[in-house]
């Protein structure tokens, strides 16, 4: 049996966050000691690790919950898990592409300023000036 602090140390999820997950129904309500403190079993630990991992992968809690209900699923439900993963992959690729565009533009902006801090900084101008952007956003 683990205390909430044990669970936190094992998973890297902070104590208040574990309680938050319980409140949201992502973790089942655990057993309690006579003094009302939470005590978890190995299944709870695995479940929390699953949540941690999927959150790290960027899935919103609603999708994490959807995946959790698919545990032990069969047939079409399995495809659903697959779909969630693929959707998330597409989303991440999209985010990477957009960030790459922003990177390019910020690099341009910082370079615009290097060397000549005389009177008016080009950074401020470049930040305000959307027209000179390569990428559209």
Residue 133 CB-half CA count within 13 A = 14
Whole-angstrom distance, CA of residue 30 vs CA of residue 3: 10
Write the DSSP string, 92-118. HHHHHHHHHHHHHHHHHHHHHHTT--S
Q: Write the interaction track for DNA spanning residues 31-70; mark x where CB under 7 A is met and - where it is not.
A: --xxxxxx----------------x----xxx--------
Number of residues that bind DNA (CB under 7 A): 21
Nearer to a second copy, 6 or 77 (CB): 77
Question: 97, 61 in Cβ contact below 8 A?
Answer: no
Q: Which of 50, 46, 45 is nearest to 61 (CA)?
A: 50
- The residues of the shown chain that bind DNA, judged by CB under 7 A, are 3-6, 8, 14-17, 19-20, 33-38, 55, 60-62
- The residues of the shown chain that bind a second copy, judged by CB under 8 A, are 46, 49-50, 52-54, 56-58, 67, 70-75, 78-79, 81-82, 84-86, 88-89, 92-93, 95-96, 99-100, 102-103, 105-107, 109-110, 113-114, 117, 119-121, 123-124, 127-130, 137
């Amino acid at each position: 049996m683990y205390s909430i602090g044990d669970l936190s140390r094992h998973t890297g999820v902070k104590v208040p966050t574990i309680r938050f997950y319980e409140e949201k129904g992502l973790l089942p309500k655990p057993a309690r000691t006579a003094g009302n403190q939470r005590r978890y079993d190995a299944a709870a630990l695995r479940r929390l690790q699953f949540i941690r991992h999927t959150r790290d992968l960027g899935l919103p809690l609603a999708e994490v919950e959807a995946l959790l209900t698919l545990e032990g699923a069969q047939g079409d439900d399995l495809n659903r898990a697959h779909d969630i993963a693929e959707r998330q992959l597409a989303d991440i690729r999209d985010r990477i592409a957009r960030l790459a565009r922003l990177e390019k533009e910020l690099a341009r902006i910082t370079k615009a300023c290097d060397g000549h801090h005389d009177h008016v900084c080009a950074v401020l101008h470049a930040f305000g000036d959307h027209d000179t952007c390569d990428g559209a956003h």
